[in-house]
Amino acid sequence: MITKTINNLIYLQFHNLTKEKLIRHYTTTRKGGVSKDHLSELNMGYTVNDNPAFVDRNLELLSLAADIPRDKMVFPKQTNGTNIAIVNSFNETFHDTDALITNIPGVCIGVRTADCVPVLLFDPVKKVIAAIHSGWKGTVEKISKRTIKLMIEKFQVNPKNLIAGIGPSIGPDVYEIGNDVIMKVEQSFGKNHVLKNIAGTEKAFFDLWTANKLVLEESGVLSDNIEIAGMCTFANESLFYSARRNGKQAGRLASGIMLV
């Protein structure tokens, strides 16, 4: 990924999406905001007992750095489900939603994460974008595939034209899961592709990065059009928040995309 530093705020961009002149996009780190203590510095989440004024300011700082109007940023109220919404304006509210799609210029759709996988999509032909929150549940239930299906139905998107970014999230060498989740992963992906057994235990490491890439490819996205950040939120404490490392009250990262 490309690292951008503006006024001490550090955010990231995908190489493949940066080449596209019709969009702006970002993935935040924890650097450059005003939140305090374990939430320092650039917490993007209102649900982790941060001072709302601090989160407001962090979003304003991101807006200035990424050149995206703060009042045009749209985030859903995520529940680790598979509901997907189409955004028609920047003043809508989306409850129980984990993916957004729009073809409206000037509306920046985004998702918040803290180990889960953010996926950004762009169709330069139909001029349609999507932002997806894909945790283990969303990955197993293939929320990206469901999102692309809706993009095809509503906007006649050809998946072969989609450009995709799989953002920073918990890495395949540390994301440990138990039997209940292993069974669900095997049902969706088989036994060998995305799981690595942990010797001497009944647990396994789950490779969310590869799993999400497989879901995109299964949906018709070309492999060469998919960029994986390859940055582990759990292992890089100085740069990212991690719920697995710090608990449910860990800070939140944000990833967003906007047509211009």
The per-residue pLDDT string of the chain (260 residues; one tens digit each, 9 = 90 and over) reads: 999 999 999 999 999 999 999 999 999 999 999 999 999 999 999 999 999 999 999 999 999 999 999 999 999 999 999 999 999 998 899 999 999 999 999 999 999 999 999 999 999 999 999 999 999 999 999 999 999 999 999 999 999 999 999 999 999 999 999 999 999 999 999 987 899 999 999 999 999 999 999 999 999 999 999 999 999 999 999 999 999 999 999 999 999 999 99
pLDDT of residue 191: 80
Residue 141 falls within a domain, yes or no? yes
| CB-count exposure of residue 235 (10 Å: 0-12, 13-18, 19+) | middle
- What's this model's pTM, rounded to 2 decimal places? 0.98
Residue 138 falls within a domain, yes or no? yes
Residue 112 falls within a domain, yes or no? yes
Residue 192 falls within a domain, yes or no? no
- Rounded CA-CA distance 124/240 in Å is 30
pLDDT of residue 151: 98
61, two tokens: 């700082």
Residue 179 falls within a domain, yes or no? no
Residue 196 falls within a domain, yes or no? no
pLDDT of residue 192: 75
For residue 3, the cross-strand partners are 12
User: What does the chain come to in residues?
Assistant: 260
Q: Do the beta carbons of residue 205 and residue 234 sit within 8 Å?
A: no
| Amino acid identity, position 157 | V
Q: Do the beta carbons of residue 237 and residue 109 sit within 8 Å?
A: no
How many domains in the chain? 1
- What is the residue range of 67's domain? 2-171+213-259
pLDDT of residue 64: 98
pLDDT of residue 85: 98
pLDDT of residue 95: 96
Residue 86 falls within a domain, yes or no? yes
Please tell me whether residue 137 adopts helix, strand or coil conformation: helix
Residue 205 falls within a domain, yes or no? no
pLDDT of residue 193: 83
CATH number at residue 88: 3.60.140.10
